[in-house]
A and B are shown apart, each in its own frame.
Chain A
């Protein structure tokens, strides 16, 4: 079965650089979520999109932005990177109106290292 795809899997950037993370949800899923997970921490919700519109906003810094495109893939854009942005970034998708409407399927994550 198709899963959530994230690209790239690993990314190394320097301070003050920019990064773009991509997420391809499971086909027919209408909702995409972005999470940041630091070492030994629980996932922190950043932002979500439902049917290509921003749905909810969590603890996403102003330096970050995200959008969902017409093909439902989503991109997380991160600017002025800081050392503290080093983390695993997970994308998850769900089918909000389906039988398991609130179950989120997670991608493998992008490990971002800022040096």
Chain B
């Protein structure tokens, strides 16, 4: 079967760093995406990893280990506007298989 696991909810402090983990088991793998979704809005693209290693984009970084079926999203210098759900999604044979999302709560 296809399965993607990520924590349901995390809490962090403004200005701090938070790491959101994602583990996956899918029948195919054409890359892993991280999306940000504010309540009632469309998911917006954050990052894409297809090779092992770290991809850095401003305050956000994403890491992938294909052998371990593992990824994480690292958010630095947290801002209140980062409060959102973060969805891990694996492209498996041209379909996006989604995790249930991690709700990130930022406290002042």
Binding site for B on A (CB under 8 A): 31, 33, 41-45, 48, 50, 55-56, 58, 88, 90, 96, 100, 102-109, 111
**Contact of A108 with B41 at beta-carbon distance under 8 Å, contacts A33-B96, A41-B100, A103-B33 already known:** yes
Of all chain B residues, the one with the shortest Cβ separation from A4 is B42
CA distance A45 to B44 in the complex (A): 16
Per DSSP, are chain B's interface residues mostly helix, strand or loop, or mixed?
Answer: loop
From the candidates A45, A96, A106, A111, name the one contacting B95 in the complex (CB within 8 A): A45
Enumerate chain A residues within 8 angstroms of B43, measured Cβ to Cβ.
43, 90, 106
Enumerate chain A residues within 8 angstroms of B101, measured Cβ to Cβ.
42
CA distance A99 to B20 in the complex (A): 27
Enumerate chain B residues within 8 angstroms of A105, measured Cβ to Cβ.
45
Interface residues as binary, B40-60 with A (CB distance below 8 Å gives 1, 0 otherwise): 111111001010000000000
Separation in Å of the A30 CB from the closest CB of chain B?
A: 12
Separation in Å of the A40 CB from the closest CB of chain B?
A: 9
- Interface size bracket, B side: 20 to 34
Enumerate chain B residues within 8 angstroms of A88, measured Cβ to Cβ.
40
Contacts A102-B50, A106-B44, A109-B41 supplied; 6 other A-B pairs, CB < 8 Å: A42-B101, A45-B95, A48-B95, A102-B30, A102-B33, A103-B45
Interface residues in B53-106 by Cβ distance below 8 A to A read 87, 91, 93-101
B95 touches A102 (CB 8 A): no
Of all chain A residues, the one with the shortest Cβ separation from B47 is A103
CA distance A100 to B55 in the complex (A): 14
**Contact of A102 with B31 at beta-carbon distance under 8 Å, contacts A45-B95, A55-B94 already known:** yes
Separation in Å of the B89 CB from the closest CB of chain A?
A: 8
B42 touches A109 (CB 8 A): yes
Enumerate chain A residues within 8 angstroms of B100, measured Cβ to Cβ.
41-42
For the complex of A and B, the 3 pairs showing the least CB-CB separation, nearest first, are A106-B42, A42-B98, A102-B91
